[in-house]
Amino acid sequence: MNESRPSSMASFWMPFTNNRDYKTDPRLLVSAEGMYYRDVDGRRILDGTAGLWCVPCGHAQPLITEAIATMAGQLDFAPTFQMGHPAAFDLAEDLMAFSGHKFSHVFYTSSGSEAVDTALKMALAYHKARGEGGRTRLIGRERSYHGVGFGGLTVGGIGPNRKQFGPLLPGADHLPHTHNLLKNAFSRGEPDFGVELADELERLVALHDASTIAAVIIEPVSGSTGVLVPPKGYLKRLREICDRHGILLIFDEVITGFGRLGTPFAADYFGVEPDLMTTAKGITNGAVPMGAVFSKRHIHDAFMDAPAGIELFHGYTYSGHPLACAAAQATLRVFREQGVMDNARAIQPYFEDALHALRGLPHVIDLRSIGIVAGIELEPIPAKPGARGYSALKKAFADGILIRTTGDIIALSPPLILERRHVDELFGKLATLLNNLD
């Protein structure tokens, strides 16, 4: 194991990173176990973000690491184009069971971005297969994050992520975001105000005509943009409007899937069923890259009426990679056998109270929470948006906690196995940090 500093940092062009600044003062993680990372100096770093929202069962989970090692020795790779291997089929059945059989089929990808682009392509192809090929318009939402493929960027709504890369796909449109600090600040769970923002979809239907709209894609809870929780009744109303106009509803559950809200999926938490659901991250506990699109039967079956032959001209070399399948099967086993979601639900009120105890500390203009997700919005430094958040990220790491920031918003999403002592450590250190932040 390489636990020493790299000989050079020159060649790695780091993703979503201020490369020049990072390399002057690098933060290097060398090992991880349970709720903690260890850095290159041997310091323990409490993981307040489950890596990047992707380690619900805690790091180095023994069942998962063992399953990966065993599969690596047995079947390092197998194609899934006109070919297959047992774990890919077995996992699909396990995933359907984990979803409570609300979905009937699953399509594997290697990441959340690929899952999003796959779901968007499925939506377009579904309408074509049913003779409604005019439905080509994709509707996203302002401030949403759907990964970095051209499809996901097109429906995504975070300005800086889009502006270097246009033009994006034609014909898309966006719903307004639901963030409203004036009316909803310091909410616990779903905020009271904003259900009527779902009616904006009716406005887009009136503008473009339903016959041009293929799908609406929504993060049930937005994460990467800084934790935006849907207003009460909002998702249900979107579902109703989609149904009224034959528009598919896609939930992007890349961060909310696999227990983050104490339920298998956010769809379960909110009691709203999408037609397609994109997942990734927690599906393998982050240990091997994998994404998956869950499909309702009517979507899948629309493709099966075509003349014999390949039904969907889409797939990735690593769709259903054996190591990912092994990791995902073991992850589901940990969920089943070790009460991961029970723990998330049990500790949620304690986690939420600890978050809201930060109210009144310097710079804090909002605290919001749902499941094991928390957002702390800080007042930006005038004319320097993002500077305070970035400074908080660096200070937190120096103090031994890993947090994630988007602009001036801190997002917390620790592994779901956390205990009260971890909550105390995380929010205790954050309180000290906020009291000492410029």
Binding interface with ligand PLP (CB under 6 A): 111-113, 116, 145-147, 219, 223-224, 252, 254-255, 280
Q: How buried is 370 (Cβ within 10 angstroms: 0-12 exposed, 13-18 middle, 19+ buried)?
A: buried
Euclidean distance between CA atoms 218 and 171, whole angstroms: 17
Instruction: Note whether 209 and 166 are within 8 A (CB).
Output: no
Bridge partner residues of 410 (DSSP): 376, 405
Give the nearer residue to ligand PLP in terms of CB position, either 210 or 225. Answer: 225
**Shortest CB 146 distance to ligand PLP, Å:** 5
Cβ proximity to ligand PLP: between 252 and 425 the closer is: 252
Closer to ligand PLP by Cβ: residue 88 or 228 = 228
Return the H-helix or E-strand segment holding 402: strand 401-402
The answer to whether the CB of 367 falls within 8 A of the CB of 356 is yes
The DSSP 8-state label assigned to residue 248 in this structure reads E
Least distance in Å: CB of 386 to ligand PLP?
18
- Pick between residue 184 and residue 224 the one whose CB is nearest to ligand PLP: 224
Sheet with strand 276-279: strands edge to edge: 105-109, 291-295, 276-279, 248-252, 213-218, 137-141, 173-175
> Between 48 and 303, whose beta carbon lies closer to ligand PLP?
48
Q: How far is the CB of 176 from ligand PLP (least distance, A)?
A: 18
**Tokens 């009937």, located at residue:** 104
Least spacing, CB of residue 348 vs ligand PLP, in Å? 21
CB of 173 to ligand PLP, least distance (A): 19
**Closest residue to ligand PLP, based on beta-carbon distance:** 112
Q: What minimum distance in Å lies between the beta carbon of 364 and ligand PLP?
A: 24
CA dihedral 66, 258, 415, 113 (to 10 degrees): 90
For the bound state, the minimum distance from the C-beta of residue 249 to ligand PLP, rounded and expressed in Å, comes to: 15
Report the residue number, 325 or 354, with the smaller CB distance to ligand PLP.
325
The C-alpha torsion from 344 through 274 and 187 to 368, rounded to 10°, is 60
Name residues whose C-beta falls within 8 Å of residue 100's C-beta, 6 or more positions apart in sequence: 264, 268
* Contacts with 342 (C-beta within 8 Å, 6 or more apart), sequence order: none
| Residue (58 or 147) nearer to ligand PLP, CB | 147
Neighbours of 233 (CB within 10 A): 15
Cis preceding linkage at 167, omega within 30? yes
* Shortest Cβ 194–ligand PLP spacing (Å): 20
How many helical (H) and strand (E) elements, i.e. helices and strands, does the chain have? 16, 15
Q: Which is nearer to ligand PLP, 247 or 280 (CB)?
A: 280
